[in-house]
Homo-oligomer: A and B are copies of this chain.
Amino acid sequence: MSEWFTEKHTDFAKFLIKTKENVFSGESEFQKIDIFDTQEFGKILVIDGFVNVTEKDEFIYHDMITHVPMATNPDIKKVLVIGGGDGGTVRELTRYKEIEKIVMVEIDSMVVEAAKKYLPLTSEKLDDSRVTLLIDDGIKYVKQTDEIFDLIIIDSTDPIGPGEGLFSQDFYNDCYKRLSDDGIMVNQNESPYYEDTAMEMKRASAKLAATFPLMKVYQFHMPSYPSGHWLFGFASKKYDPVKDLKKEQWEALGIQTQYYNTDLHVGCFMLPTYVKEMLKGNRERI
């Protein structure tokens, strides 16, 4: 049976992916989770109707969410991942021998279980001995824990449903407190192109800029996401991701990547004028 999965980008634009098989479907207390096998993208993880992960291009997202902060400070030892249930972010982090501890707090056990069963490509390192996987609310976790981290990665879904609180000022404040003096936070920062995601991009960036001494946005080409133009936020107590890039130190680690490289690290912070204007609050939309 071959059908088409439809993702609604806006009321007026949609993307259709031909599916070979509906590998998994479930409804947790938080969200609807589907995994389809497809010809074009391999297996795809869909949450509440939106593509979260595809086997074809997940490496782009996971490269950019981990290696940009890690090449800014390769001495990072303790990392907190909020969300990221598919495991791809943790997989990339485990490639750093220098990282001693990774705490991952994912609210939805069904995402983790489905990924472990059907997406070994991303989930394969969730059982690394340095990883502590907590099925819990990330917002509650950062409010209650005493632990201090060198890096916090907010690998969230869009700010609808369980992802919503992960875009709040209160949560960002709590994260700030849980970071070491040279701590870095990276967050899924939405996209400038369509109206809804652009609004979230502006909101999240403004809140982060109000919380951290340094906040920059970086971009990457993520074809399986709406518009293909996606952003992460880089918020930091000390390091500037471009000026403080440890090019030689990172390259000496010998980590092979398919998307990230240290030239791109610099290039990805060079944003289009319209995006810069939107981030400054001088422009409403494209």
A residues engaging B (CB < 8 A)? 10-18, 38-41, 56-57, 60, 193-194, 219-221, 223, 227-229, 257-261, 263-264, 266-274, 276, 286
Residue in B221, B258, B263 whose beta carbon sits within 8 Å of that of A229 in the complex: B221
Query: In the bound complex, how far is the Cα of B41 from the Cα of A39, in angstroms?
Result: 28
- Max chain B C-beta neighbours (<10 A), residue from A13, A56, A220, A259: A13
Which residues of B sit under 8 angstroms from A259, Cβ to Cβ? 272-274
Q: Please measure, in the bound complex, the distance between the C-alpha atom of A194 and the C-alpha atom of B227, giving whole angstroms.
A: 15
Contact partners of A14 in chain B: CB under 8 A = 15-16
- Residues of B within 8 Å of A39, CB to CB, are 11-12
| B-side contacts of A276, CB under 8 Å | 261
Specify which chain B residues have a CB less than 8 angstroms from the CB of A57 in the assembled complex. Answer: 193, 286
Among B15, B17, B266, B274, contact of A267 (Cβ-Cβ < 8 Å):
B266
* B286 pairs with A274, CB closer than 8 A: no
Q: Report whether B12 and A38 are in contact in the complex, using a CB–CB cutoff of 8 Å.
A: yes
- 29 inter-chain pairs at a CB distance below 8 angstroms, sorted by A residue, are A11-B18, A11-B39, A12-B17, A12-B38, A13-B17, A13-B18, A13-B41, A14-B15, A16-B16, A57-B193, A193-B221, A219-B221, A220-B272, A221-B221, A221-B229, A223-B228, A223-B229, A258-B272, A259-B273, A261-B272, A261-B276, A263-B271, A264-B270, A264-B272, A264-B273, A267-B267, A267-B268, A267-B269, A267-B270
Closest approach, in angstroms, between the C-beta of A198 and any C-beta of chain B?
A: 12
Residue of chain B at shortest CB distance from A272? B259
Give chain B residues whose Cβ lies under 8 Å from the Cβ of A273: 257-261, 264
Interchain CA distance A258-B259 in the complex, whole Å: 27
- Most B-side CB within 10 Å, residue of A17, A18, A271, A273: A273
**Set of chain B residues within 8 Å of A40, measured between Cβ atoms:** 10, 12-13, 194
